[in-house]
Amino acid sequence: MNYRKVARNVLKYAVWIIATLFTVIPIMWMIVISARSRVELFDDPSFIISSFYEENYTNVINDETFRGYMWNSIVVATGNAVLVTFLAVLATYALSRYDLIGKDNIFFTTLTQRMAPPAAFLLPLFLLFTQVIVFEGTDRRWDLYDTRIGLILLYCVFNLPFAIWLMKGIMDAIPSEIDEAAYVDGATTWGVLTRIIVPLVTPGLAVTLILSWVFAWNEYLFAATLTAFDARTITTGLAEFVTVTGTNWGEMAAVSALTLIPSTIVVLFAQRYIVTGLTFGAVKD
Amino acid sequence: MRSNRVGWLLLSPTLLILFIVGIVPFIYVLYVGYFDWNIFAATDMSFVGINNYRELVFDERFLDALWVTVRFTIFAVLSQFVIGFILAQLLVEEFPGRWLFRLIHTVPLMVAPIAVGAIWRLMTIPGFGPIPFYLDEWFGINFNIGTSSEQAFLMIVVMDIWHWTPFVTLTLLAGLSALPQDPVEAAQVDGANNWQIFRFITLPMMRPVILTVLFIRIMDALRTVDEINMLTNGGGPGTATRTLGIHIFRVVFPGTDYGYGSAMSLLTLYFTIVICWLLFVLLTHSPENSKSS
């Protein structure tokens, strides 16, 4: 019997090691490449970094354009995450506490927006951003194309349904007697939301905020089609390395590594909630 | 119940934004899809009825992209599910190092898809990528995803396995850990073997989690664009890895025929919704669920 147990343990650790290597090696390789100069690129693959070629990083960070992309990404992701979380609190409170006509349909419709392939929306959104939502000023014409505010609003299309689905379960778990009692004491809706509900849902709120932030940071397709220069994000900048500037693999790897930093931080701090978040709260980890 | 007007007021900003960026484009696609519209031509939009859709059914490039998407989804999701289930089964018991496994395997889930593409691109560059290098050195295989369609397709599946198997593993792991142990122990007392326990107890109890995972994975696999676009430079070689999303992004969108492009977008949307709806029905109205409730 003991023999079987040993065999099972050996198998378990073997699988553990293989799966972990498979996950880690590509990321390691990216870091290796980001530490190599052009000349060293074609050396044999080795995962030991003998000398660190910082220029890949410093070149990128000192580049005006790239710094702009980075800043845009930070602004868009933060703006969108805050907006989405705020709206989701209001919306889920309404869906959870009020007897609104067709609220189940509203709830489900939000999910279909998350299912929809983003590529299908590129064309109409492009037209919407360039032709439809336009303000003709006296001296200049203003539209949503290539603006950060445009991206912040647009990312709601996938982040808001996500946030609503995640927050709905959390909101439903708060007994409504708590806010009923506050209303009896004469609190306003706004008062109940800010003084009672928000403190109770803070952990869920933080998870929603963090995950929406990462999704907005990671988005590429919309940013690539709906921005030209001013509002370009880091993900589009990464794609440009391959198509426009020839291919400077070292710098490309450095940019990939930089885009990975926030994701890694999130994993370190919010790892427990990521599975719950990615399954829309359906599976609790 | 308090005044519903307040409820609607709280919900209104959400509905407004989703209406503008979600519903309006949808209606717009629906509308433009019935027209012939070349934005660079002097002529206005002309109504062509369902001709765009009639054309689409025979559009080889569209059907080709659809076929690539379906094949990619089947191969990727199936592999992820099988590998993920085996891993979850092996790792469900507490053991030293389990937390590290979970930590490391959460990383790919949060990596930007475009960076996933970049990472695998670095792995597969002919010349210095480790995959072509070692395949050549150890097995004498000439590996070049820039020229071989089969290898490119294989590579996008491997990339997706890398990206999303951890999601399947961790979700199933969470599901398995939450299962009550009493039925398993009762079955062991009754003399059931491991396979029987797995087949008749674990699997039925895991059904909701399994369906949730499959639902989310299929939904996302059908819309994969970024990483494949990055890895194979827009669906190459030829059209071997050109999924529907890439086709619309790289060919239809920069093109000029907006009516036709809209029709294609709508059909893509429709196709995805039908599949997702079927899965959703399966998820919520399964016979075993209704039996047990």
Biggest CA–CA distance in chain B, Å, is: 81
Residues B76, B167 contacting (CB under 8 angstroms): no
Contact residues on chain A for B25, CB-CB shorter than 8 A: 121, 124-125, 128
Residue A216, pLDDT > 90, answer yes
Residue of B nearest to A86 (CA): B14
Residues B234, B250 contacting (CB under 8 angstroms): yes
Q: Which of A278, A280, A284 to mutate to test the interface with B (most CBs of B within 10 A)?
A: A278
Q: Which residue has the higher pLDDT, A16 or A133?
A: A16
ipTM, interface predicted TM-score of the complex = 0.88
Give the mean pLDDT of A212-235: 90
Please list the ranges in chain B whose pLDDT falls under 70: 1-2, 39-43, 283-293
pTM for the structure as a whole: 0.88
Give the tens place of pLDDT for each residue, B106-133: 899 999 999 999 999 999 988 778 888 8
Give the pLDDT confidence score for residue B79 in this predicted structure.
96
| Chain A, window 62-101: residues with a beta carbon less than 8 angstroms from a chain B beta carbon | 87-88, 90-91, 93-95, 97-100
Distance between B128 CA and the closest CA of chain A, angstroms: 5
H or E element, residue B283? helix B258-284
Distances in Å between the Cα of A153 and the Cα atoms of A68, A170, B13, B264 are 20, 24, 11, 25
In 3D space, the residue among B122, B114, B60, B71 whose CA is nearest the CA of residue B241 turns out to be B71
Distance between B137 CA and the closest CA of chain A, angstroms: 11
What tokens appear for B55 in the block?
């054309």
Q: Which residue has the higher pLDDT, A104 or A19?
A: A19
Determine the Cα–Cα distance for residues A210 and A250; give it in Å rounded to an integer: 30
Neighbours of B180 (CB within 10 A): 8
In this complex, which of B22, B129, B258 lies closest to A123 when CB atoms are compared?
B258
What tokens appear for A188 in the block?
């306003």
A30 lies within 8 A of chain B by CB: yes
Q: Could you give phi then psi for residue B36, rounded to 5 degrees?
A: -100, 115
Give the pLDDT confidence score for residue B133 in this predicted structure.
87
Contact residues on chain B for A154, CB-CB shorter than 8 A: 21
Q: Is the dihedral of CA A180, A183, A184, A187 positive or negative?
A: positive
Give the mean pLDDT of A203-222: 91
The residues, ordered by sequence, that sit 6+ positions from B172 with a Cβ below 8 Å of its Cβ are B84, B85, B88, B206, B209, B210, B213
Biggest CA–CA distance in chain A, Å, is: 86
Give the tens place of pLDDT for each residue, A57-88: 888 888 888 899 999 999 999 999 999 999 99
The residues, ordered by sequence, that sit 6+ positions from A268 with a Cβ below 8 Å of its Cβ are B103
Residue of B nearest to A260 (CA): B111
Give the mean pLDDT of A95-99: 87
Residues A193, A89 contacting (CB under 8 angstroms): yes
